[in-house]
Amino acid sequence: MMPDIVLHPETAAAISRLIASPPQSLMIIGPAGSGRSALARHLAIRLLDTQSPGDHPQYRVISAADGIEAIRNLQHFASLKVPGADAAVNRIAVVEQAEQLGIEAQNAFLKLLEEPPKGTLLMLLTTHGSALLPTIQSRVQSLTVRAPQNEALHRHFSDLGHDQKSIQQVTLMTGGLPGLATALLDGDATHPLYAAAEQARQLLRLSTFERLATVDSLAKQKETAIQTVIMLCRMAAAALRQMAQVPTPEAGKRVATWQRILTASDQAATQLRQNGQPKLVLTELMLAL
């Protein structure tokens, strides 16, 4: 169990093995909202023996969205000597959203992997490792974040003081993604999926007319629109799974509603990814919800 996230037992066991025998490079794979950043922080807490990784001089987090310049800054950071350090890991560098690294940036990062500085742990956080060069994939140890069971999520968030109704709502709308569920329960608007989750929740509360009124503004934010539609898919899929586990005589109408939402949002997500016209795609979705 991690301090700010709950894990599947297999993921927790893998983390324990990594702490006991840390590699020089690690790729943490999981969907956005699965808690990859929390895992990186936990490893830093344990390996650097600190309670506040963000304040530790030998802990650095960069975003792949910043491109080659971010990797160059990382190369400089890794080249600096760590004074008086003799631990197996005395410096940790984390690249978030690694799937967004361009070829030039990946080749620059590859040089670090080929000659890693002693005591430095390089971590790549990504939704899928296949987006990275095969030469990078072959040089890193991989850890896939498995989704925890709903019972474990409820127990974890209940122990943190959240009420059962809020926990139920959040785990349903996130599809059981613990990192995003934590952000929603804590009101952490800095989480990259927070806005999309709130948008999805709001859309389901609005009338058809009110939903149509949101199309123009949402269409201008394509990435947010895609994430919002994906969130609707997750919410619908989770609701259907829950109703299948606990069937009730009056559930038929609700099942049909969630099936309609799942079909419409899945189709919209595909069209938006394929560069369909956002305004048209979103209009059709709002009419179908």
Write out pLDDT tens, residues 185-201: 999 998 888 888 889 98
Q: What is the predicted pLDDT for the residue at 262?
A: 95
- Which residues, including other chains, have CB under 8 Å from residue 150's CB and lie 6 or more apart? 171, 176
pLDDT class of 244 with cuts at 50, 70, 90: confident
- Which residues, including other chains, have CB under 8 Å from residue 277's CB and lie 6 or more apart? none
Cα distances from 125 to residues 43, 185, 251, in angstroms, run 13, 23, 40
Mean pLDDT of 195-214: 93
pTM of the model: 0.80
CA 219 to chain centroid, in Å, comes to: 23
Kindly provide the b/e burial profile for residues 170-195, where b requires at least 16 CB atoms within 10 angstroms of the residue's own CB. Answer: bbbbbbbbbbbbbbbbeeeeebbbbe
Least confident residue range of 122-131, 189-198, 225-234, 242-251: 242-251
- Rounded distance, CA 90 to CA 275, Å? 45
Tell me what the pLDDT averaged over the chain comes to: 90
Residue 142 parent element (H or E): strand 141-144
Q: Which two tokens stand for residue 5?
A: 């996230």
Higher pLDDT, 185 or 173: 185
Contact 196, 227 (CB under 8 A): yes
Cα distances from 188 to residues 32, 182, 191, 274, 288, in angstroms, run 15, 8, 6, 31, 30
Q: Which residues pair with 272 in a beta bridge?
A: none
Residue 96 parent element (H or E): strand 91-96
pLDDT class of 2 with cuts at 50, 70, 90: very low
Any idea where the domains of the chain sit in the sequence? 9-144, 150-288
Tens of pLDDT, residue by residue over 261-286, are 999 999 999 999 898 899 999 999 99
- Rounded distance, CA 160 to CA 29, Å? 26
pLDDT exceeds cutoff 80 at 251: no
Say whether 20 sits in a helix, a strand or coil.
helix
DSSP one-letter code for 129 = G
Mean pLDDT of 10-17: 93
Question: What CA dihedral angle connects 48, 54, 57 and 58, to 10 degrees?
Answer: 40
Q: What is the predicted pLDDT for the residue at 245?
A: 75
Least confident residue range of 139-148, 166-175, 222-231: 166-175
Mean pLDDT of 41-55: 92
Q: What is the predicted pLDDT for the residue at 119?
A: 92
pLDDT exceeds cutoff 90 at 170: no
Q: What is the predicted pLDDT for the residue at 76?
A: 92
pLDDT exceeds cutoff 70 at 1: no
Q: What is the predicted pLDDT for the residue at 169?
A: 82
Contact 171, 201 (CB under 8 A): no
Q: What is the predicted pLDDT for the residue at 4?
A: 60
pLDDT exceeds cutoff 90 at 22: yes
Q: Which CATH number fits domain 9-144: 3.30.200.20, 3.40.50.300, 1.10.10.10, 2.40.50.100?
A: 3.40.50.300
Tens of pLDDT, residue by residue over 135-144, are 999 999 999 9
Share of the chain above pLDDT 70, in %: 97
Mean pLDDT of 34-49: 93
Residues 146-153: contacts with CB within 8 Å, 24+ apart? 146/7, 146/8, 146/10, 146/11, 147/8, 147/34, 147/176, 147/177, 147/178, 148/6, 148/7, 148/8, 148/11, 148/176, 148/178, 149/8, 150/176, 152/6, 152/8, 153/6, 153/178, 153/181
Measured on CA atoms in the order 245, 167, 46, 70, is the torsion positive or negative?
positive
Least confident residue range of 15-24, 42-51, 52-61, 238-247: 238-247
